[in-house]
Structure formats: structure tokens, C-alpha cells
Amino acid sequence: MIELRGVSKTHPGPVHALRAVDLTVGAGELLAVVGPSGSGKSTVLNIIGTLDRPTTGTVHVAGHEVGALSDAQLSALRARHMGFVFQHFHLSPGRDAVDNVGDGLLYAGVGAKERRARARAALERVGLGHRLDHRPTELSGGEKQRVAIARALVGEPDLLLADEPTGALDTASGRIVMELLHELNAAGTTVCVITHDQDIADSLPRRVRFRDGEIVDDAGVTA
């Protein structure tokens, strides 16, 4: 599903955000990318998610060599194969849960009626069938994150990238979100969780630890 070879990212300064990273993630894996602030874990998420390009090295995602794709092709790759979940939800305040989730299908060219139908199904899947017409201000933090997860999975992605998905939640809500990510993985989705939380990392079968832009440990790696 993911293959990075010799991937480096250098910012002016120079600042070496990533240093010659090699990483392979198989289809159906559930893993944590863990490390302190500034370790390179968010940079690697942006590169895997094709939101940024490496300075050097090659990136393959879902069988595609990212460096060979145009911006339009990258957008299509994200729409067809990827879902994103972020710490702060990124929901539109004036739109209800169904519209927030359905908006995840806009770039896939899905019509309005089908978008809403698929959004309702996704919300029911994450346990929010009773919150379809609620706006973000009417939802708890845990419910907002479940809306964000529904938006990420409405396009039935092969790969879900979750950046600190429990960082803005209380312990109970965070536990529900992690249980949901486990369920999605059990259904076949490759799930990559970016976190600085060691307890969350330890709860996942594979932990890839970053420090100073390098992988310093890869525990639980599958063959």
C-alpha cells in the first residue's frame, strides 16, 4: 500500500525534516507512526498523503509512483484511495453532519442525491445515525471526530491516515475513536495513525518510531 525509498525532506535553513527514510506498509496493516514534536512524523504523513512532495527519494501509494503524477492525478489518487482524519476535525460549522460527510465525495464526481445517501450510511456505520441533521456546534468532541471519520471513509478508501485523531478528545471519547479505527482495519482498510501518545502506539500491532527525521525503531513489522 505504501512504499518510501530514500525519502528526504529539506526546508530552507536547511532544516532536515526527513532523512533518507525507507518504509513499507502492506495492505491491511494497522500501525502507529510515533514520535515527539519535530520528529518528522507529520511530514511523513503529508508525503504519504501526497499533500507534499519529498526533496529526494521515491514514494509509491496504492501502486502509483507519486512523483510521476500531475496535481490533477494526485487529487484523483487521494479521492479514490485515501481518507484523512485530523486532530481538529475540520468540519464546516454551518452544515449538518450529512453534508459535512457528503462533501468528502465532491472531488469524486458523485451526484448530490447519492452523496447524501452514502453520507447517511457512513454516519450510521460510526454510530451517529441519530445525529444526521446536527451541526458541529450541537455535537460533542467525540461525535465531531466520528463525523470526520465518516467523511474519511465515505469514499471507501483503501488507506486511512489519522493525524493525532484523539488529541482533542477526552479519554472516553478517544477510546471510542480508536475502537472505530480498529473496526475499520478489521474490515480491510489500511490504517496509519500519527501520534505522540505512547499508550495509543502500544495498543497497535506495529509501531514506527521517528526521531530527528529518521526511523529509529520499527516494532511489530510484518513480513
CA–CA distance, 141 with 193 (Å, rounded to integer): 18
Percent of the chain at pLDDT above 70?
99
CA–CA distance, 168 with 136 (Å, rounded to integer): 14
Q: What is the pLDDT of residue 221?
A: 64
Cis peptide before 14 (omega within 30 of 0): yes
Q: What is the pLDDT of residue 222?
A: 54
Question: Tens digit of pLDDT for each residue in 75-108?
Answer: 889 988 999 998 889 999 999 999 999 988 877 7
Please compute the mean of the pLDDT values over residues 97-122 and round it to a whole number.
90
Question: Tens digit of pLDDT for each residue in 195-222?
Answer: 999 899 999 999 999 999 999 999 986 5
Q: What is the pLDDT of residue 106?
A: 79
Question: Tens digit of pLDDT for each residue in 135-184?
Answer: 999 999 999 999 999 999 998 899 999 999 998 888 888 999 999 999 99
H/E segment holding residue 145: helix 141-153
Q: Which CATH number fits domain 2-219: 3.30.830.10, 3.40.50.300, 2.130.10.10, 3.90.1200.10?
A: 3.40.50.300
pTM of the predicted structure, to 2 decimals:
0.91
Q: Where are the domains of the chain?
A: 2-219
Question: Tens digit of pLDDT for each residue in 27-41?
Answer: 999 999 999 989 999
Q: What is the pLDDT of residue 13?
A: 87
Q: How many residues does the chain have?
A: 223
Choice between 168 and 130, residue whose per-residue pLDDT is larger:
130
Phi/psi-derived region of residue 212, left when phi > 0, alpha when psi is between -120 and 50, beta in every other case: left
Q: What is the pLDDT of residue 223?
A: 46
Please compute the mean of the pLDDT values over residues 40-66 and round it to a whole number.
95
